[in-house]
Amino acid sequence: MPAYAKTRKGLEEMEVRRGALGPRARRLLILADGKRDSAELQCMLPDPAFAETLAELEREGYIEVVAGAAPQESASSAAPAPATPTRPADVPEDPAARHQMARNFMLNTLKTFSGPYAKLSLMERIDASRDSAELRLLLEDWMKAMNESSAARPQAAALRARLEAVI
């Protein structure tokens, strides 16, 4: 999936709020930092109209695909997934750092998709975890919470895969 960055027009819109963008488009523009790909942006902004908003920002010249980013492939032309899972390059080798990253991911997705005050018991258990093994024990409870959220449900499998790559 391609990563998107703000263009000069996008940066100007951030500095001088002209009111040309609605709240949904503005939030997406704020998050387009050139590092996050469209899948990660969609996880951060669960919205049925995400693709339309992204296309509108690109069409209007507020964002652009980052040079060197892989072009977006259609589902039929995508290469099959590798048989063995590989750790993404941004996942640290240090087990403590991976635990912290996984813990933060679980907490942030719960807050995003369930709200800051829902699933408090699960959030407390995740926060109290001492290592990745303890987080793995909470994985099914976390997945249940993701599947209870109508916004998270369509991407629950992808969220789980990202989490499992870390823990």
Same domain membership, residue 51 and residue 113: no
Same domain membership, residue 105 and residue 56: no
User: What is the three-class DSSP state of 111?
Assistant: helix
Same domain membership, residue 53 and residue 10: yes
Helix (H) or strand (E) holding 110: helix 95-114
Dump the DSSP string for 8-42. HHHHHHHHS--S-S-HHHHHHHHH-EEEEEHHHHH
Q: 126: how many CB neighbours lie within 10 A of its CB?
A: 21
- How far, in whole angstroms, is CA 160 from its chain's centroid? 11
User: What is the three-class DSSP state of 136?
Assistant: helix
* The one-letter amino acid at 6: K
What pTM, to 2 d.p., does this model score?
0.50
- How far, in whole angstroms, is CA 87 from its chain's centroid? 17
- Domain hosting 104: range is 95-166
Q: Quick check: is 76 in a domain?
A: no
pLDDT digit of tens for each residue in the chain (167 aa)? 788 888 999 888 888 887 778 888 888 888 888 888 888 888 888 778 888 888 999 999 999 988 654 444 433 334 444 433 445 556 667 888 888 888 988 998 898 888 888 899 999 999 999 998 999 999 999 999 999 988 888 888 888 888 888 88
Q: Which residue, 19, 45, 65, sits at the end of a domain? A: 65
Q: Quick check: is 112 in a domain?
A: yes
Q: Quick check: is 59 in a domain?
A: yes
